[in-house]
Chains A and B, each alone.
Chain A
Amino acid sequence: MARAAVQRRLTWLRATVLENRPETARVHRLLLDVPGWPGHLPGQHVDLRLTAEDGYTAQRSYSVASAPEDPRLHLLVERAEGGEVSPYLTDELRPGDQLELRGPIGGYFVWSSAVDRGGGRPEGRRPVQLVAGGVGVAPFLAMLDHHRRTGGATAVRLLYSARTLQDVLARDVLGSWTTITLTRGAPADWRGLTGRIDRRVLEAQTFAPTTRPRVFACGPTSFVETVATTLVDLGHDPSSIRLERFGGSGDRS
């Protein structure tokens, strides 16, 4: 399905920043107008390229956080203190600025409602389990918003780990599909989960292996590694688990 969509040559496009607004203390939402954007599948990412006066360039990847149906491209960028690119994007970039980007990239970590339409047989339809750590929720926002807009019949759940309630991104898109766990303290009246995602939480809050879900996990490297290993321990088929790692903690050799 994705193959035809990605076998084109990827050229650098010029995006114009429409808005750069803080979504939480650490994460900004960039709204981009990208003339010539070829469209994307939920889950794909873009490469951004910044160029300094002296010709030095830096490139980084960011997941598209908006549904294909949205005419503007949304990115959610977390400020990595001391980082080269993300603090520039969150703190320097202003509406009207231009950025170079190319994409969409990645045809594996994708899900769209078309996947389950094949043949129209309901028994062929598989539930979709999403597991996000922090800003790793970005590609899932594209999937959820797409799912909502297309009114698909697939059962979808998101298990989302955030530091505090203030760090929860895009509450408008999360909806009733989402279970949130707060890892660094919760308000007194919080009725949801607290603590890190572990075996017990995965067992209780995700589709059981017997329902053969397609599973996607995204977030910091160490988070994704732990989630994937635990899901396999719980009996999920390794070939049904797709991962996207953003880097960050846990990368030290």
Chain B
Amino acid sequence: MSLISRGFGRREQRRDERLPPGQYDAGDLFPVLSAGPTPRTSLSEWDLTLQGEVDGLRRWTWEEFRDLPREAVSVDIHCVTKWSKFDTRWEGVAVDTLLAGVRTEASYVVAFCDGGYTTNLPLADVTDGRAWVVDTYDGQPLAPEHGGPVRLLVPHLYFWKSAKWLRGFALSRFDEPGFWETFGYHERGDPWLEQRYSGD
């Protein structure tokens, strides 16, 4: 039984059914969250790799990445710090496209990034058209503070799983907690089940 807060009322009259429990609509705002400074990697040094439990390392330079088949997506995103944002528009490469032809026994991936950030995901959460490596937001190159040059986009999970400054995936048969996950955030982070913190 939750406690009624005397005199507290909702601000919006109607609750948007696109909002998962405990979230609010950030409207035009696009809050920035990251635990450290924005890393700087020049595009000439940048690459994206698939490693770990794969039949040979895969690597794309920036030019090679830009030549891959691209998709445009418009999705709602949900941050564990309570804001949600509707109909955000991104472009990039489906994770399925990166994994095409890769033979693996893995069931999990760790996304790793410039600046040392990592996050873990079941492979099933980034395949079958559920995740992208994106390099534009709202028609513009992805700004560094929002994860540029590229970030992972996994809109059906809380946004910390959509790792900024992505540099690749390590595939594994085992699930290993990433950065926020070791600090007590939920292993999977489904906003509709309100899986914010470990044990939720």
Contacts and interface: CB of A to CB of B under 8 A. Distances in A.
A9 to B, nearest CB: 3
A243 interface: yes
Interface in A208-229: 221, 225, 228-229
A79 to B, nearest CB: 15
A228 B115 CA distance: 13
A231 B39 CA distance: 12
B183 to A, nearest CB: 4
Contacts of A9: 197-200
A2 B35 CA distance: 15
Contact of B184 (A92, A97, A107, A251): A107
B11 interface: yes
Nearest to A58: B24
Contact of A92 (B7, B11, B37, B199): B7
Interface in B13-41: 15, 21-22, 24, 26, 28-40
Categorize the interface residue count of chain B: 35 or more
Contact of A51 (B3, B37, B145, B184): B3
A12 B196 CA distance: 13
Contacts of A51: 2-5, 8
Contacts of A243: 34-37
Interface in A32-66: 47, 49-54, 56-61
Nearest to A250: B32
Contact of A239 (B33, B36, B184): B36
Nearest to A11: B199
A50 B5 contact: yes
Contacts of A229: 37-38
For chain A, what secondary structure do more than half of its interface residues adopt (helix, strand, loop), or is it mixed?
mixed
Contacts, number: 133
B37 A253 contact: no
A109 B8 CA distance: 31
A10 B151 CA distance: 29
A50 B37 contact: no
Contacts of A58: 8, 10, 22, 24
Interface string A53-89: 1101111110000000000000000000000100010
B32 A59 contact: no
Contacts of A251: 26, 29-32
Contacts of A232: 37, 40
Contact of B4 (A7, A52, A88): A52
Contact of B197 (A2, A56, A98, A105): A105
A10 B2 contact: no
A229 B115 CA distance: 13
A125 interface: no
Given A14-B3, A107-B183, 20 more contacts: A7-B198, A8-B198, A9-B199, A10-B197, A51-B8, A56-B9, A57-B2, A57-B21, A58-B24, A59-B22, A84-B24, A88-B7, A88-B8, A97-B6, A221-B31, A228-B37, A229-B37, A241-B36, A247-B81, A251-B31
Interface of A: 2-3, 6-10, 12, 14, 47, 49-54, 56-61, 84, 88, 92, 97-100, 102, 105-109, 221, 225, 228-229, 231-232, 238-239, 241-243, 245, 247, 250-253
